[in-house]
A and B are shown apart, each in its own frame.
Chain A
Amino acid sequence: GAGVSQTPSNKVTEKGKYVELRCDPISGHTALYWYRQSLGQGPEFLIYFQGTGAADDSGLPNDRFFAVRPEGSVSTLKIQRTERGDSAVYLCASSLISGAARETQYFGPGTRLLVL
């Protein structure tokens, strides 16, 4: 595909459940980023992958959040024991070269997560 894709587009779950959010980056992009955008706020950084490894996970709010990128392409953000405060839009972005601020981050349309 031409751009970053994310699935599902929307996800409704109940408090305490486990969810997985998927991101397909632009083909050939080595860097992948996850951000969380709460209502009325700008996106906040969660984690950054350089290839298969998480190079910076300092933005993950707690140990209920985990992300993987096993083959250096698709990434999955996993949230355990979801809480109502996890409700937000989760955005994924990718860029051509990792760790280079001059490289543009291309964003996907996000997954809107609603925890009831």
Chain B
Amino acid sequence: AQTVTQSQPEMSVQEAETVTLSCTYDTSESDYYLFWYKQPPSRQMILVIRQEAYKQQNATENRFSVNFQKAAKSFSLKISDSQLGDAAMYFCAYTEGGSEKLVFGKGMKLTVNP
């Protein structure tokens, strides 16, 4: 079974600084997708960024970028110029190319200090 591991339960960062959230996954598939979701206290999961496994180029979305290391099965999220609104739970997730179900990690709580 595919697994997603987020080993750091909590992190904190100073406003305007950069922080990196780590995620590793385990799969034998070659066609898969990786995601980072943000869950604020409102509980609504919001997609931050996604990466297709077949793409070598790391995905970027404004202040958010990933470091996708396929051989190491590592998928870290870098948040630049951290803002107070970035404070939330962050979940790494995986799905296979032909699947419809997301497999999530346990999440990591990010605190942004002013």
User: Hey, which bits of chain A sit against chain B, CB under 8 A?
Assistant: 3, 31, 33, 35, 40-45, 48, 50, 55-56, 59, 89, 91, 93, 98-102, 104-110, 112
Contacts and interface: CB of A to CB of B under 8 A. Distances in A.
A109 B33 contact: no
Interface of B: 4, 32-33, 37, 42-47, 50, 52, 91, 93, 95-107
Nearest to B6: A42
B113 to A, nearest CB: 23
A89 B43 contact: yes
Contact of A109 (B44, B100, B105, B107): B44
8 contacts: A31-B100, A33-B101, A43-B45, A44-B104, A45-B103, A56-B101, A99-B100, A100-B100
A35 B45 CA distance: 11
Contact of A59 (B46, B101, B105): B101
B87 to A, nearest CB: 18
Given A104-B50, A109-B42, A55 B91 contact: no
A34 to B, nearest CB: 10
B43 A99 contact: no
A76 B50 CA distance: 29
Contacts of A55: 100
